[in-house]
Amino acid sequence: MRTSKMICGLAALALVGGGSVAWGQFTNDDLETGDFTGWTVQNTPNGVGAPGVIEQYDIDGGGPKPSSYAAKFAVGQAQFQSGQQEGVEMVQSLDLVDGVEYTVSYSWATKRESNSGNVTGGVFSVIVDGQIVGTPLDSGGIGGSYGFYKYGEYSATFTASGTGPHEVGARITRPYQSPGDVFSYVDDFDIDPPTGGGGPSLRAIGDCPGRVTVSWANATPSRPMAIVYANNTGSFVVPGGPCAGTPLGLGTSGIHIAYQGGTGGGSGQVSTNIGTGVCGHYIQMVVVSGSPCETSNVVQLP
Ligand SMILES: [Ca+2]
Ligand SMILES: [Ca+2]
């Protein structure tokens, strides 16, 4: 049953065409703007390391990722205080939904640019509204007998308290003053599920023309839903059916239902190949729940 719905959905979405937009993710999550666009970088109270730099770096060493832009910091204490973790924070404001469990992840690496070892290359954590969530990762020593390049993936899970904007990001610290040649890198931030306001979160990832995956999260489970397409944004009001009177963020140009299915457990996705005709246009999810019906954010296709 799910398979046949998927096939119908793929056919319908194929008419829509589309590409990719990462609504609900960190802005500039992969730092490929080559700068800190979207991010606020600041020192901890007794820390150094800001503003940091963005440079090309192979964040996972011999792993599959190629060199790309990553954030680079030389973190540590401004004034020595025994055992005190100090350095930098890079955060941005995300709309979280109360009670939803989120996992924030990113890639990290440390590097020593001298011949000797240093006892700590960096401690990596995730912070929400200035507080560490999850368990920080102490990456250990760097350089000398420790080895000169370390890297890995880090993640932390937390449950949001309060619907609305929260400051979310990374804290990178060391319990010593910076020797100036110990560097910590981060790249490829992700938050799962994608963030949104009080309603369902919708996003589309892929290329236009090409293959796109439309995914949703935080929808009311086990309800019928539709993904509506339009060439423009606006204030179209659903004229009839179970969601009559529901205001959308879409305009009237080319508006039609691109996909109908169910919300599943509240999250899910459909994928399809799309053509150039719909690139840059818009979709929105409507869930048959409540009056007016539940609606997602409007997503611009790639
Ligand atoms: Ca690599
Ligand atoms: Ca990158």
Per-residue pLDDT of the chain (302 residues; tens, 9 = 90+): 333 333 333 333 333 333 222 346 799 999 999 999 999 999 999 999 999 999 999 999 999 999 999 999 999 999 999 999 999 999 999 877 767 788 999 999 999 999 999 999 999 999 999 999 999 999 999 999 999 999 999 999 999 887 778 999 999 999 999 999 999 999 999 998 777 555 788 888 888 999 998 988 888 899 999 999 999 999 999 999 999 999 999 999 999 999 999 999 888 889 988 889 999 999 999 999 988 999 988 888 98
Give the pLDDT score at 24.
66
Per-residue pLDDT at 99: 72
Residue 60 CA from chain centroid, whole number? 19
H or E segment and range at residue 16? helix 2-16
68 CA from centroid of ligand 1 (Å): 9
Calculate how far, in angstroms, residue 122's C-alpha sits from the geometric centre of ligand 1.
20
Distance 22 CA to ligand 2 centre (A): 15
As a whole number of Å, the end-to-end CA separation of the chain is 30
Q: How far apart are the CA of 42 and the centre of ligand 2, in A?
A: 20
| CA of 29 relative to ligand 2 center, distance in Å | 8
pLDDT confidence of residue 195? 73
224 CA to centre of ligand 2 in angstroms: 38
- Measured from the alpha carbon of residue 58, the closest ligand is 1
- Ligand with the closest atom to the CA of 189: 2
Tokens 């610290």 label which residue?
A: 173
Cα 32 to ligand 2 centroid, rounded to whole Å = 5
CA of 116 from ligand 1 middle (Å) equals 24
Question: Are the C-beta atoms of 272 and 256 separated by less than 8 Å?
Answer: no
Residue with tokens 């007016």: 292
CATH 2.60.40-classified regions of the chain: 2-24+197-300
Identify the DSSP state of 142.
B
Structure tokens belonging to residue 135: 């368990």
For residue 57, report the distance from its CA to the centre of ligand 1, in Å.
Answer: 9
Options 3.30.40, 3.40.50, 1.10.8, 2.60.40; CATH for 2-24+197-300 is 2.60.40
Q: Say which ligand is closest to the CA of 35.
A: 2
pTM reported for the whole predicted model: 0.66
Count CB atoms within 10 A of the CB of residue 1. Answer: 6
Q: Give 78 Cα–ligand 2 centroid separation in angstroms.
A: 28
The CATH classification number of 40-192 equals 2.60.120
Cα separation, 104 vs 82, whole angstroms? 30
Ligand nearest 70 Cα, by number? 2
| Å from CA of 70 to ligand 2 middle | 5
- Per-residue confidence (pLDDT) for residue 196, from 0 to 100: 59
Q: How far is the CA of 68 from the centre of ligand 2 (A)?
A: 4
* Cα 60 to averaged position of ligand 1 atoms, centre (Å): 5
Residues of CATH 2.60.120 domain(s) within the chain? Answer: 40-192
Measured in angstroms, how far is the CA atom of residue 113 from the centroid of ligand 1? 19
